[in-house]
Structure formats: C-alpha cells, structure tokens
Structure 1
C-alpha cells in the first residue's frame, strides 16, 4: 500500500465514471481515494509517467487508466475533477482543442480544486454553461495530510444542482464538502481561509521566538497554552516543529505566496483592508529569498528565531 494514501471507510454511493486532471501532492491521493471508493477513474497529468505510475498503483482493482490529454481523460466522464497550480494551468487543461471541455459530454460537471482566482472561476463557469456543461469551483483546505487521509475541507461555488450531483462522489476524499454560494464563492472562501492562516502563523511565530529568547521550555509552554484560548490547528500541528526548526514537509511557502497574491488582488478589487495579510506576504518573501520557497509555511518563524550555531 502506498504510504501516501491512508486507508479509510467510504460512504456507499453509486459508482461513477470520473476523470482527474493533475496528480501532484494533492491530486494523487484525491484521485486514489476516488478509485478506492469504487469509481472508474481516468487520469491525466502533464508528466505522463506520473499518470502511468498512478494507474499502475490503482488500476488493478478499479480499472483506472491514464489518458494522453485532458480531452481524452474527460471523454465519457460524468464528473471531471481537477487540481493544478494556478489560473494559467487551469485554462491550459480546460480550454482548447485538447482541453477537457472539448471532450466532455453534455450535462457533465467540471469540479476545480485548484486554488485560483474567483475571476477565472466565473470565466470558466460561463464558458461551461455555453457548452451545456457545469462548472464548480471547489478549492480545498487540509493540506497534503488531509488529501492523504481523505479528510479535506472543500468550499464550493456554483449551481446547486451540480453541487448536489458531485457531493456524494467527493465524499471519498473530504470530510466537509459545502456549497458557499454562486460561481466564485468557493475561491473567495478559500481566500478567507488563507487570510486566517497567515495571521495565525505569524502570531505563532512571534510567540515561539519570544518564548525561546525568554529561555522558556517551549514544548511545555505549547502543551499548556494549547489547552486554553490560544489553541489552534497551527499550534497543535506546527508549534513543536517550529521550535525544532523542521520545515521539510507540508504546504510550501511558494504556494502560500501564490494564494496570498490572489487575496491581495481580490482585496484591491473589492476594497477590503488586509494590512496584516499584506505584511505577512512580505515576510514570506523574506523566507523565499533565504532559500525557503519549498519549506512549510511554518518556516515564517525563521525570520525571528535566534540563530542556531553550526
């Protein structure tokens, strides 16, 4: 069993023909959970070897198979799931002669789990409707561990009927799959999520660095304050690794900066005041310049910690 896919019990649902585009650290386990839940999954990845390896891992039990293009993967699918990098990556697998929309049958549903802009979600929603298709923007929270465990939180924007059709299938990799509102609302909710995380990680970083400079036993302090009002997912899951200086896992700084860029762009459009978010984005820029682009977001603490002697 691949250690990246954790075993779980799946809610019974009718098997569906689905496609999954993008088999990175999130998409690989998400597609795997769909296959293990009994759905017939066709996959596409820009690096074809990765799609072939995924199909070899999951195909024996489920008939899962790779496809050479997004269009080929989408042909005959009831639902096409996608998790790629950004707006441009999304358009590249959706539009054009080899894009998924070109292969989808009338009435099929495209579900985008990419953290992208609300603008591209609305753009592709309108394009889908013009083709007799459905489009749901559905960014996720829970990180790599949530994808591996099938415990992602998914925030959706789009039509109610399309959401209702997708929800039982998406339960294979999610613990909460919620419609927030119309097209783009899922992406906007994910931006709210990232604003919260940015502030929490900066606050936790300052607390850890302060406690270290004060000479406190920080693992003990974190255990104590984690039982009170300071408790958070970040404290529980990242506090002690911050103290230890371990960052070679989790959600990369490069990805967080991409997400915060989306937040800041949207804030300029809607007039929201997000000074802490803007400042933390600059701090993450410092981490990138120090060579930490692939470190976990908790590496924000490295700007503040006392220097470790070699």
Structure 2
C-alpha cells in the first residue's frame, strides 16, 4: 500500500491521507436498508394512480353536469312538448281578431286578447275546445256534442250560433240561433246546467237567461260596441283591446258612469268622440294615453 501511495501525485496523496483517518460503522443493517428501498418503491407505485384519478375527474365532472342539465331541461319542457304535439292553439293579440274553421265545419272567430285550444284529433271521438277570452261560434251539427270549456263554466251544443265572453271571474253566453246548455263553475258548490235559447243571453251576475238588448248583439262581430248599462271602465277595456291603446279614467268617480247605446267601431277617433258624448265627459291625449276626465 505504501508503494501505491508513493506513486500517487501530491494532491491525490493528501486526499488519501485524509480519508484514511475516517471511521465507518463496523456493520451495515441490511434489513433496514431493504425496508427503506421497499417504501420508496411503494410510493412510486401509488403516485401514478393518484395522478390518474385526478386526470379522470376533470373530464368526468363536466360530462355529468351536461347530462344533469339536459335531464332537468327535458323534465321541465315535457309538458310544453306534449302540448305542442297533441294540441292546436290559436291566439289573437291585442288589437287583432282571428277567424277560422274546424275540421267539422264549425266557424269560429275569437276577439282580441283571446285564445282557443283543441286536440289535433278533434272530431274523431269528441268535439271539445278550450276558450280563454271571447269567441263567436257557428257550430255545425255532428254526431257528438260541441263543448266549449272556460275557467268560469262550459257550454254544450249540437248545432247553433252563440258567443262566449269569459274574462277574469265573469262569463257571458249569448245565443243567436238554436240553444245551448250552460254549466257555470261555482266555487265549492255543485251547479246544474241552464238552457239558453235563441235571442237570449246569460251571465255570471244573474245566472238567469235574458233577452238580448240588440239584434246585432254581441256587437264586436259586427264591428260595433253595443252597450247596455255598461260600466265606463268596462267600455274602455273593450276599446283598449280592439285598438291596442291605453285609456285611463282620471278619477274613481268615473267608474260609476254606465253607458247605453250603439257605437260604430270603425275608427278610434269616432269611438272616443261618441263615448265622450254618451258619458258626458271629455278626454285628452297625454303620454301615449287617452285620459277621460
């Protein structure tokens, strides 16, 4: 060893002398070394699985959210989809009217802010329609009764001409030809059907048939306003729907005024002028609104 040391360069010989004085453990614990090595191997195996799980959820969670959102939309839209598939709905906007014929030949005209709905297989087994607002019916005779349902009552006929006006909690049925059976809906009470014959009308106020006040009643199908002790506010509502305008009464006292007469409803200015004469009041136009005072 001394011969080997003497052959070393001076710098390596100094390192040799320094390391010769170091002390090492007499025995190495191989069991402890193997245990440490196994722990390191276990950690290396676990780490990729965690990384895989982290990379899985970011792709899984958006798909789950999309599926859940689609399910919620489908559940909420199912009634609308069903209604579109199995029913026909016709609506008349404010300031307009709609007229049409059903498959059985029945002619119907609905007034402004009104709608009618019926099944697509209408007249195959039954003839039932649902009305919101006001509509005039010329019903052709058929094998099954023609039934009009409203939230305030129902009307059953075989063949006739009649008008139904059902708005808010009020309903009026006018029969121009034939006869109808009217069954009102009265809250918490069973009601019997009432027969209304030609030339008569019935409303929810009296539930007793009365003679119509004018041969062209109801006037809206003849482009007229036929008023029989009609509240001024109700008249203004009819004008608003027909001409798509806004009308306001300047004081609550004007609500007590009742109007009787016939107004040609060809143009708005003529209607308002005649109404001012019948009510003995004036009106002005201000901020897109006609104001009676």
Q: Same fold (TM over 0.5)?
A: no
| Structure possessing the higher relative contact order (Cα contacts under 8 Å, 6 or more residues apart) | 1
Pick the structure with more strand per residue: 2
> Which protein is bigger by CA-based radius of gyration?
2
TM-score, with structure 2 as normaliser: 0.31
TM-score, with structure 1 as normaliser: 0.30
Pick the structure with more helix per residue: 1
